[in-house]
Amino acid sequence: MEIKSLSSKLVWPAIMLYLMIGSYLIYVGYSGPLLEIEIEKENGEWGVTQPYYKDWTGWRNISPSDVILRVDDVPMDHLHQLKYKSMIVTADKITIMKPNGEIKDIHINHSDIPHQFYYLLLFPFCYYLLTLFIIIYIYFNQKSIKLTNLLIFFMLTVSLAYVSSGVSSRVNGIGIIVNRSSMVLCLAILLHFLRDYYSFVKINWLFTNNIKYFYVFPVIAFSLGCICTFYPAYYILLSDVVLVLFFILLIIILSILLLSYFKYKSPQLKVLLSSIMIPFLPFLFLYALPSIFFDTYILSGEVSSLFLLLIPFSFIFTQVAERLFDIEYHITRLRYYGIFALIFTLWLIVGLYCIAGKYLTIPVISGVSLFTFTSLVVLFYIKEKVDYRKRKILFSTKGDYIHQLYTAVDRIGKTIKIDELLKKFAQEVSLHLELENVFVLTYNYDTSQFTSTVEGRLSINPALIEDLKLGEIRRIDKVYLAFLHQDAHYKRALVLEHKNSIHLKDEELLWLELLLLYVNNFIENTKMVEELLEELRHMRQADDSQLPWLSKLLWLRFEEEKYQLAQELHDTNLQEQLHIAREVDVLVNAKDTTDIQQKLDKIHQQMITSLHDLRAYCENLKPPLLDTLGLNAALEKLIRKVIERASFELIYTIDRLYLEDERMNLMIYRLFQELLNNALKHSYATTVEIRLQEMDDGFEIIYKDDGLGCNVDDITVGESMGIQGMQERVKAFNGQFYIDSQVNEGMFIRITVKEGSDTLDYDAYSG
């Protein structure tokens, strides 16, 4: 069987092996207290030089002047431990002789050395059982997850490495072999896990794919452990070699994570990097590296290894939940609340110290600090819950859920059919909440049957949907059910499923509630549009007469256009004509006629200017050259006018088009007009290029400038320099409008329209 395709059949044998080895290691750990008292023989007598547990030796009144006679009733010269190490590793009883000749027997229990009891016995035993329960839970509940097997093997090896640390210190053969091999094997499995996890989250793996070669490292560690068992004198040397192997694998893993994170900036990698690097740093810098280079340590192995226990549990959250952002959410929220709580706690402690510092002791200050900090953090969490329940206000890790809601609403709102709208809505929810199984379930009251946007989905109890209220989200077992819309014939609900049990955050629930309300309105509006189009289709099939309400709508629209035209003429050209009339009236009634010729010339120029403005206005409303000389002549005249006014160089190409639909000529003219007006008013360009090119079944307009440009995402509706109007014109003829622009990098627009596919034809919607 290949390493990269670990079968689930190996899980139970691995668990059984874990039970047997772990039980043996725990038994050996409880068999006798670990002392690690360094001794030295001088003048034929063995004396204490460096006790590991100094508090215990002081409590037992053991001093360097004492002579050790026997260990577990075995004379020192016959003690097996001293053959390879000048140290009493473990003992239940020590016989010593005081300087005054008094012989004293010291019986040793685990309870006599609390430090050893907790770090070498209690903590490893609890971790051993906890790991066992967790991997069994993972195995039975997460069988479908690809990386589950690697996660289980990783947790088993980390647990064995931790449990065997105390037994290895006793120079127990099995303990040494298990400890040396498992501490290196866990990193090899971790490297394997990362390779497959990168593939799972679709991130490029920056290291070799031949991970199986790195399993040579634990084989070497296993061999060194066996050698150390038979040659205990090489215990320290071989331990350093294993630490070097451990260090090499760890550096490889951290380098891969760091390079990947800085290259891809992925949130998944950020969580992985934090969950691996932070626990390893104390063990690496406070124990492993000092032991390798200086033959000493800053923090003992049993204490620094406690931090490593955080790694498997962080992987439980990242792998089992499959929703890495939940971890980041809780960490960010805790950090946010913790900073505020810490600032206030420091302020309070400084105030108390200044007011009553001489009455406060260090334990009292520490207790007050801890109580204040904890109380504030808890209070912040309570406030968050109250704000969400009462006012729908909550903490947001990113602060952009409203923006995401707006983006989702904008994308959903572009649909024109209910079925399409429901599918788009389910896709948006699936994308935002990172859930694969999201679909809309529709219950038909007439047929009492369910239909779904995704085929093959099982129906649910209609009573569950009937109890839901608009916008309500209810969790039922491992499924979230949200009421979406109801009318006389249908009731629709959103269903959110996952491979595992899911729990949506308050931020996600609020986002979903608001989106449900928007989509409910979208469905109502879309129904009205569909009914309108259906009515138009039936009307056209019956005869060509218009509906009364449609005639009224068109009449009102025409009246509105006439009103706007009259208002614009009144405010511009008519005012100029009134001004000219008043000046002529003054001349008619004037008695002084000396300079009347000069005044008439001035009035004449004003009339000519007014007529030019009126002609330009009429040409804008309906270019006369379009009907007489055609599109090319009209565009040439428009371009000449622009060149006269422009401060930029205009490069243009106009192909001769042969279009059957005359409405397209007017549309092309309006597009040219709008593009060039935008260039004059807003571009501040030095060069503008516009081209009209013929296509097989339509035309293409390409516009480019090197002006100020803009951020396309910031173009707001109604204030987009005419872009919205151009988009609507193109869309009306089933064309494509593409715009690309960056600030200070100019603008590029491509418009493509095919003849013979007018979207304004309601038959296109009748399906």
Higher per-residue pLDDT: 736 or 9 = 736
Q: Could you identify the residue written with the tokens 């499959």? A: 322
**What's 294-325 look like in SS3?**
HCCCCCCHHHHHHHHCHHHHHHHHHHHCCCHH
> Tens digits of per-residue pLDDT, 571-628?
777 777 777 888 888 777 777 777 778 878 888 888 887 777 777 777 666 677 777 7
**pLDDT, position 751:** 93
| 625 and 615 Cβ atoms separated by less than 8 Å | no
Segment 696-724 shows an average pLDDT of 76
Spatial distance between the Cα atoms of 2 and 516, rounded to a whole number of angstroms:
49
Tell me the DSSP string of 133-169. HHHHHHHHH-TT-TTHHHHHHHHHHHHHHHHHHHHHH
Predicted TM-score (pTM) of the model is 0.49
| 196 and 150 Cβ atoms separated by less than 8 Å | yes
Q: Within 13 Å and on the Cβ side, how many CA atoms surround 256? A: 22
Q: What is the DSSP letter of 680?
A: I
Spatial distance between the Cα atoms of 470 and 608, rounded to a whole number of angstroms:
66
The superfamily (CATH) of domain 415-538 is GAF domain (3.30.450.40)
Higher per-residue pLDDT: 398 or 273 = 273
pLDDT category of residue 52 using cuts at 50, 70 and 90:
low
Q: Which residues contact 73 (CB under 8 A, 6 or more apart)?
A: 93, 95
**pLDDT, position 356:** 81
- How distant, in Å, are the alpha carbons of 76, 86, 301, 343 from that of 81? 9, 8, 22, 54
Angle at 315 between CA 311 and CA 319, to 5 degrees: 175
| 524 and 474 Cβ atoms separated by less than 8 Å | no
Q: Which residues pair with 450 in a beta bridge?
A: 443
Q: Within 13 Å and on the Cβ side, how many CA atoms surround 33? A: 24
Task: Pick 34-108's CATH classification: 3.40.190.10, 3.40.718.10, 1.10.10.10, 2.30.42.10.
Answer: 2.30.42.10
Residue % of the chain over a pLDDT of 70: 76
Segment 259-270 shows an average pLDDT of 77
| 613 and 572 Cβ atoms separated by less than 8 Å | yes
Contacts 24+ apart (CB under 8 A), 286-294: 288/243, 288/246, 288/247, 289/247, 291/240, 291/243, 292/240, 292/243, 292/244, 292/247
- How distant, in Å, are the alpha carbons of 113, 648, 675, 749 from that of 672? 90, 16, 5, 12
> Tens digits of per-residue pLDDT, 170-199?
777 888 888 889 989 988 988 888 888 888
Q: Which tokens in the block code for residue 334?
A: 């805790």
Angle at 492 between CA 488 and CA 496, to 5 degrees: 170
Q: If residue 750 lies in a helix (H) or strand (E), which one and from where to where? A: strand 747-754
**pLDDT, position 688:** 92
| 246 and 304 Cβ atoms separated by less than 8 Å | no
Task: Pick 3-26+118-320's CATH classification: 1.10.3470, 1.50.40, 3.40.120, 1.20.1070.
Answer: 1.20.1070
Higher per-residue pLDDT: 749 or 239 = 749
Spatial distance between the Cα atoms of 651 and 702, rounded to a whole number of angstroms:
11
Q: Spelled out in words, what is the top-level CATH class assigned to the domain 628-766?
A: alpha beta
**pLDDT, position 717:** 45
Spatial distance between the Cα atoms of 633 and 638, rounded to a whole number of angstroms:
9
| 652 and 691 Cβ atoms separated by less than 8 Å | yes
Q: What is the sign of the dihedral through the CA atoms of 176, 180, 185 and 187? A: positive
- Poorest-confidence range of 636-640, 683-687, 701-705, 760-764? 760-764
Cβ-based burial of 272 (10 A; exposed 0-12, middle 13-18, buried ≥19) = buried
- How distant, in Å, are the alpha carbons of 12, 13, 20, 23 from that of 17? 8, 6, 5, 10
Helix (DSSP H) and strand (DSSP E) numbers for the chain: 26, 17
